[in-house]
Chains A and B, each alone.
Chain A
Amino acid sequence: DAMVIQNPRYQVTQFGKPVTLSCSQTLNHNVMYWYQQKSSQAPKLLFHYYDKDFNNEADTPDNFQSRRPNTSFCFLDIRSPGLGDAAMYLCATSRDRGVAGNTIYFGEGSWLTVV
């Protein structure tokens, strides 16, 4: 059974129209991450939550925001999608942070197309 569940798997949005991607986890992990992966590239970390503490990567554009209303759910909000934001967005979780050996589990990703 899937432990990190992303919805929707495929999302088409119009240029500039806000979009939200969701992630839920059944692992009760403290840390949740959002990665962006463009075609033929490695995943790139956008931000992560440790419990309710939000940690943004320095080079993540302001256009990307996140919410974590409870332990199980985390959302990625793209306020004004541009064509360059078309990518697969990966949610991931880990039990804890700052400890070597914490396996990070990924969801199956949400594909975003911007038209």
Chain B
Amino acid sequence: AQSVSQHNHHVILSEAASLELGCNYSYGGTVNLFWYVQYPGQHLQLLLKYFSGDPLVKGIKGFEAEFIKSKFSFNLRKPSVQWSDTAEYFCAVIMNSGGYQKVTFGTGTKLQVIP
């Protein structure tokens, strides 16, 4: 069974610090990878996605993620965080299983940015 691991449960950074959130998955087949963000009191929304092609994916608000197949990783990065980046971040893996999309989310990482 596929699984997704987010090892950082709670991260606290000062504004302008660089961010890297880890995401590792366990599935040997073709994967499609996503990062979602949940700002306080708001809907879960897509930050970025990887289906194929360039393993370095750029998303909204200056976020990017790199797919490293050999490491089964899809870490999220941002060079300089802002207070408005305070949110919970979820990594997700989707695979096609018997014609159905099987979705697995990580446990999430809460990011707190201190002004």
A and B co-occur in one complex = no
Binding site for A on B (CB under 8 A): none
Binding site for B on A (CB under 8 A): none
